[in-house]
Amino acid sequence: MRATLTQHGKAALQGMPGVGKTQLALKYAERHRQDYAACLWVSAASRETLLSGFAALAGVLDLPERNEADQAKAVAAVQRWLNTIEQTWLLILDNADELKELHGFLPSGRGHCLLTTRSKGVRILGIKQK
C-alpha cells in the first residue's frame, strides 16, 4: 500500500462489508504516522458526512476558517490547505461507496489519499486498488 500511495498518490481498499478495510487503513496511518505532516480521517458515507468531516478538519488543522458559520468556507479552506501545503499528508476517506459523491473532494496536492470502499468502480477515479 505504501508503494502504491507513494507512486500514485491515491489508493483504495476495496471489499465486502466487515472485512477490515477501515482497520487496515487506520493501522497504515498508525504505522506511517512519522511520514506525514498530518493524518486525517473523514467519513465519506454520504455527501453530508463529507462536508461536515471536511469542515471539522478546519479545526483539526487550526485554520482561520475553523469557526466559520458557512460550512462551505471551512471546506474550501481545507481543500486549499490540502492542495497547497508543501508537506506530505494522508487523507483517509472511509466508506466511500458512492464514488460520485467524491467529486470535488479528492485533493491533488502533495499528499496521499486512501479510500475504503465496497465499490468496484474505483478505477474510474484513477485510483489503484489494494
- Find out whether 101 and 50 touch, Cβ atoms under 8 Å: yes
Binned at pLDDT 50, 70 and 90, residue 102 comes out as confident
Render the chain in DSSP notation, one character per residue.
Answer: -HHHHHHHSEEEEE-STTSSHHHHHHHHHHHTGGG-SEEEEEE-SSHHHHHHHHHHHHHHTT-GGGG-SSHHHHHHHHHHHHHH-SS-EEEEEET---GGGGTTTS--SSSEEEEEES-S-GGGGT-EE-
Residue 88 has a CB neighbour count (10 Å cut-off) of 16
Residue 104 has a CB neighbour count (10 Å cut-off) of 11
pLDDT at residue 119 greater than cutoff 70: yes
pLDDT at res. 124: 46
For the ranges 3-12, 38-47, 120-129, the maximum mean pLDDT occurs at 38-47
Q: Which three cell numbers stand for residue 81?
A: 490547505
pLDDT at res. 6: 87
Tens digit of each residue's pLDDT (9 = 90 or more) over 34-87: 999 999 999 999 999 999 999 999 999 999 999 999 999 999 999 999 999 989
Domain annotation for the chain: domains and CATH numbers? 2-129 (3.40.50.300)
